[in-house]
Amino acid sequence: MKRIGILLSGRGSNFEAIADSVAAGRIEAEIAAVISNRPTARGLEIARERGLPAVCIPSKDVPREEYDRLIVAELKSQQVDLVCLAGFMRLLSAEFCQAFPMRILNIHPSLLPAFPGLDAQKQALEHGVKISGCTVHFVDPQLDAGPIVLQAAVPVLENDTPESLSARILAEEHRIYSEAIAVVLAGRWRIEGRRVVVD
């Protein structure tokens, strides 16, 4: 059985959707570790309620390289095969990425490469795009930049607020993150240049 490690910083709804997919057998794996960098993350509570192994490794005032070594050590000690960032609001160091080559996924609430970084939904609204969405991609040390596994598009409506657009995108996030994890764990993909071809 493949082992998934989840990293999160907050609400944890993407993590919850992944846990639901694992429970329903849509993802053939177990969640071996849920790690938060923030002690108050709701995602930690959800993990504990579900009886999943959850730990907080606080990142406050810890230099990035040192922090990432702590996280990598925890993930390795839990023998994690795939790391899923689920609202983990930190850049990963090159060493972290090298410790899990093509084994780290992230979900981002825009159609990358548009609107990387914070408040992607607000950025999209302010830019005036008519379509936005979400992206699951492999993680490299650049911000929101690695090879794209899956994307989903949603319309941007005239009367949207950042909240209403975020909610429409989030429903798609919950759907495609599990789908991408299943594809990656099953090895149903190959890389051509920076293009991920899903078989």
Place of tokens 């830019």: 127
Of 34, 46, 83, 170, the one binding ligand GAR by CB under 6 A: 170
Q: Should residue 5 be labelled a site residue for ligand GAR when binding is judged by CB under 6 A?
A: no
| 108 carries an active-site annotation | yes
Backbone φ and ψ for 7, nearest 5 degrees, come out as -115, 130
13 contacts ligand GAR (rule: CB under 6 A): yes
Tokens 């960098």 correspond to 37
Q: Does residue 146 belong to the site contacting ligand GAR (CB under 6 A)?
A: no
Nearest approach, Cβ of residue 42 and ligand GAR (Å): 8
> DSSP of the chain, one letter per residue?
-EEEEEEESS--HHHHHHHHHHHHTSS-EEEEEEEESSTT-HHHHHHHHTT--EEE---TT--HHHHHHHHHHHHHHTT-SEEEESS--SPPPHHHHHHSTT-EEEEESS-TTSS-SS-HHHHHHHHT-SEEEEEEEE--SSTT-SPEEEEEEEEPPTT--HHHHHHHHHHHHHHHHHHHHHHHHTT-EEEETTEEEE-
Stretch that binds ligand GAR, among 6-14, 18-26, 54-62, 67-75 (CB under 6 A): 6-14
Per CB under 6 A, 164 contacts ligand GAR: no
Question: What does the per-residue mask of binding to ligand GAR show for 75-114, with x meaning CB under 6 A?
Answer: -----------xx-------------------xxx-----
Q: Which of 5, 6, 7, 12 binds ligand GAR (CB under 6 A)?
A: 12
Sole binder of ligand GAR in the list 11, 50, 69, 122 (CB under 6 A): 11
Q: How many chain residues interact with ligand GAR (CB under 6 A)?
A: 16
Q: Is 10 in the site for ligand GAR (CB under 6 A)?
A: yes
Residues 113-132 as x/- pattern, contact with ligand GAR by CB under 6 A: -------x------------
* Closest C-alpha to 59, from 82, 77, 79, 36: 36
The active-site residue out of 108, 127, 137, 174 is 108
Site for ligand GAR, rule CB under 6 A: 8, 10-14, 43, 86-87, 107-109, 120, 144, 170, 173
Q: Which residues are catalytic?
A: 108
